[in-house]
């Protein structure tokens, strides 16, 4: 992720809604792909102040009304879509009668926007039911039902909400946006990382299995990740929570949870691939790495190792968790190579970009 610049010269960041220097309102302009200062128009709406853009814009409804977004929508002939290119994917939002849920929703949306930025960087296909795409994508952000004096409330008459993916629909339990609850779950499940953006990247991995592999490349995928029909997902799930991961899992998998079933192995490895792309995009814009990218996975791995080791040491200085593993097993590299291949096949990328 790059930083941006306000018209006053102050740096702007991807989540900003105001410039802290000149107090201008700012937002994401889809016409020039920048976080920019926006100026009100006489007849309603705004215009982009980025040099050479000047596009007429409206705030996304969730920016103007709910204050959980910072994206603009292009206005034509005085009209614009109500929702931006990220918020339009929402099917269910958190129950806003619960006071804390607005803050949690804002955190969920911020993570989703970063997810879409990475997908668009890779030029991976995605769309809603109104778009020409084989597997429409949508999101629900919901919570567990409240006991009498409990913490979480359901928006869908369910007792418990499970974070997961089904046929293009991604559900995330809003408690994952609560730092304390998420850390408790990370420790309980003995995970090295458990982050909000990590949930999005994992679940979108399941989505791209449906889009890029299902009925298209299943045989090649099975050769790398294993047979997703044997054992069944239900059998694999029960076995994993009864027995846990095998002791030698680091020799073959990116995480312990990846051992559960080939679908989870695919999603966990896909999430790691997106981790690399996102981190290297930021590192490249920040001047942290100077590795030359030649379109190969190997150049990505070298650069990510370089950045990861530096950030790991910085994190240790501050008592934080490591960003990246020190070593990737050959079997994991083989899985990443398969993902790199299908991503490039799905999204021809200009030479000189991050991945090819």
Kindly tell me if the per-residue pLDDT of 74 is higher than 60.
yes
R_g of the chain, CA atoms, integer Å:
21
| Omega cis (within 30) before 231 | yes
Kindly tell me if the per-residue pLDDT of 191 is higher than 80.
no
The answer to whether 137 and 129 have CB atoms below 8 angstroms apart is no
DSSP code for 211: I
Encode pLDDT of 59-71 as tens digits: 999 999 999 999 9
pLDDT interval class at 351 (50, 70, 90)? very low
- Those residues whose C-beta lies under 8 Å from the C-beta of residue 242, and which sit 6 or more positions away, are none
How high does pLDDT run on average in the chain?
89
pLDDT interval class at 150 (50, 70, 90)? very low
* Pairwise CA distance, residues 169 & 112, whole Å: 14
Kindly tell me if the per-residue pLDDT of 355 is higher than 70.
no
Encode pLDDT of 41-64 as tens digits: 998 899 999 999 999 999 999 999
Encode pLDDT of 2-13 as tens digits: 899 999 999 999
Encode pLDDT of 200-221 as tens digits: 999 999 999 999 999 999 999 9
Q: Is 150 exposed, middle or buried (0-12, 13-18, 19+ CB in 10 A)?
A: exposed
Kindly tell me if the per-residue pLDDT of 346 is higher than 80.
yes
Q: What is the pLDDT of residue 145?
A: 61
The answer to whether 281 and 291 have CB atoms below 8 angstroms apart is no
The answer to whether 336 and 225 have CB atoms below 8 angstroms apart is no
Higher pLDDT, 30 or 289: 30
Encode pLDDT of 214-240 as tens digits: 999 999 999 999 999 999 999 999 999
Higher pLDDT, 186 or 149: 186
Encode pLDDT of 265-322 as tens digits: 999 999 999 999 999 998 888 887 776 667 789 999 988 888 888 888 988 999 988 8
Kindly tell me if the per-residue pLDDT of 352 is higher than 50.
no
pLDDT interval class at 158 (50, 70, 90)? low
Q: Does the global pTM surpass 0.85?
A: yes
């Amino acid at each position: 992720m790059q930083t941006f610049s306000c018209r006053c010269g102050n740096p702007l960041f991807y989540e900003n809604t105001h410039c802290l220097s000149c107090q201008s309102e700012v937002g994401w302009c889809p016409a020039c792909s920048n976080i920019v200062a926006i100026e009100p128009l006489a007849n309603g709406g705004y215009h982009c102040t980025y040099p050479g853009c000047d596009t007429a814009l409206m705030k996304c409804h969730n920016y103007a009304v709910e204050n959980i977004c910072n994206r603009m929508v292009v206005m034509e002939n005085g009209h614009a879509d109500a929702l931006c290119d990220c918020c339009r994917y929402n099917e269910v939002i958190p129950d806003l009668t619960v006071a804390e849920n607005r803050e949690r929703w804002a955190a969920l949306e911020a993570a989703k926007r970063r997810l879409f930025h990475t997908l668009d960087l890779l030029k991976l296909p995605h769309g809603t039911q109104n778009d020409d795409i084989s597997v429409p994508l949508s999101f629900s952000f919901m919570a567990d039902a409240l006991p009498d004096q409990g913490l979480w409330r359901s928006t869908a008459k369910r007792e418990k909400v499970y974070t997961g993916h089904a046929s293009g629909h991604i559900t995330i339990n809003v408690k994952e946006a609560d730092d304390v609850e998420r850390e408790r779950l990370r420790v309980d499940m003995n995970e090295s990382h458990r982050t909000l953006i990590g949930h999005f990247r994992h679940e979108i991995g399941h989505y791209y299995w449906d889009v890029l592999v299902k009925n298209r490349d299943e045989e090649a995928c099975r050769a790398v990740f294993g047979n997703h029909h044997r054992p069944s997902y239900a059998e694999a799930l029960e076995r994993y929570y009864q027995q846990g991961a095998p002791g030698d899992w680091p020799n073959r998998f990116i995480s312990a949870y990846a051992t559960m079933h080939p679908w989870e192995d695919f999603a966990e490895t896909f999430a790691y691939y997106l981790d690399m792309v996102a981190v290297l995009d930021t590192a490249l814009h920040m001047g942290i790495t100077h590795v030359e990218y030649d379109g190969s996975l190997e150049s990505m791995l070298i650069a990510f190792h370089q950045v990861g080791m530096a950030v790991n040491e910085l994190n240790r200085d501050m008592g934080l968790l490591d960003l990246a593993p020190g070593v990737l097993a050959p079997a994991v590299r083989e899985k990443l190579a398969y993902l790199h291949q299908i991503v490039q096949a799905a999204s021809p990328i200009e030479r000189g970009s991050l991945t090819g």
